[in-house]
Amino acid sequence: MGFNIAIDGPAGAGKSTIAKMIAKKLGYIYVDTGAMYRAMALYLLREKVSSAESEKISAKCKEADISIGYEDGEQVVFLNGENVNGLIRTEEVGNMASASSPNPDVRKKLVELQQKLAESADVVMDGRDIGTCVLPNAQVKVYLTADSRVRAERRYEELTAKGVSCDLDTIEKDIIERDRQDMTREISPLMQAEDATLVDSSYMTIDEVADEIIGLVSSWK
């Protein structure tokens, strides 16, 4: 087993920014598991499956071959051989990912892929169930969270910088709904693993969060 760092937490807590930064600093591989659920969601949307049709999701998810690769140090996710990185960051795909990820067949398929990736390499993996379910033996586990208003503000700034007009209250409402969906599902809901360190990034800079996690890695070694 490689050295495994698991970072879980709600949408918008800064998991991917932090995980990417740590992976770069330590020379580890960054695995964004949300991107895999998003690629699966894109497939389901293309196949016109609705999030309420759980049997259809179970059948259809078997047709989706999801894999990841790396280009210039960035994770690229492939859906049946097609690079879908540019298509999975929309609200529509994110909402479908949250709605279809409770399906046990979807989870089984993607969790196996994630476990295989972590078997032989040093990885920083982020998601919702990494410390609790995917990598229960990870040497370092972090539960990264932030106040929902702060998370909404970060998302608002990101979108505004891209020239997308949006409304802060609507974004916060969406974030709270996504949290509820991810935390209350039956199979591997989002929660802090017993042995995870809680990091609240509401009033921390990205560097401060990264330094705290690297500190946990150093004290383990």
Report in angstroms how near the CB of residue 103 gets to ligand DC at its nearest.
10
Window 23-82: residues binding ligand DC (CB under 6 A):
33-34, 37-38
**E strand or H helix that includes residue 198:** strand 197-200
Residue 10 interacts with ligand DC (CB under 6 A): yes or no: no
DSSP string computed for 146-157:
--HHHHHHHHHH
29 HSE (CA, 13 A, CB side): 19
Applying CB under 6 A, among 11, 79, 84, 144 the residue interacting with ligand DC is 11
Find residue 66's DSSP bridge partners: 79
Q: Left, alpha or beta for 70 (phi > 0: left; psi -120 to 50: alpha)?
A: beta
Window 158-197: residues binding ligand DC (CB under 6 A):
178, 182
**CB-based contact 152:12 (threshold 8 Å):** yes
Residues that bind ligand DC (rule: CB under 6 A) add up to a total of 15
Window 80-99: residues binding ligand DC (CB under 6 A):
94, 97-98
Q: Residue 15 or residue 210: which is nearer to ligand DC going by CB? A: 15
Q: Residue 38 or residue 151: which is nearer to ligand DC going by CB? A: 38
Residue 129 interacts with ligand DC (CB under 6 A): yes or no: yes
**Sheet with 4-8, edge to edge strand ranges:** 29-32, 123-127, 4-8, 140-145, 197-200
**CB-based contact 113:66 (threshold 8 Å):** yes
**CB-based contact 32:39 (threshold 8 Å):** no
Q: Residue 77 or residue 213: which is nearer to ligand DC going by CB? A: 77
**CB-based contact 143:193 (threshold 8 Å):** yes
Q: Residue 112 or residue 218: which is nearer to ligand DC going by CB? A: 112
Residue 9 interacts with ligand DC (CB under 6 A): yes or no: no
Q: Which residues bind ligand DC (CB under 6 A)?
A: 11, 33-34, 37-38, 94, 97-98, 101, 127-130, 178, 182
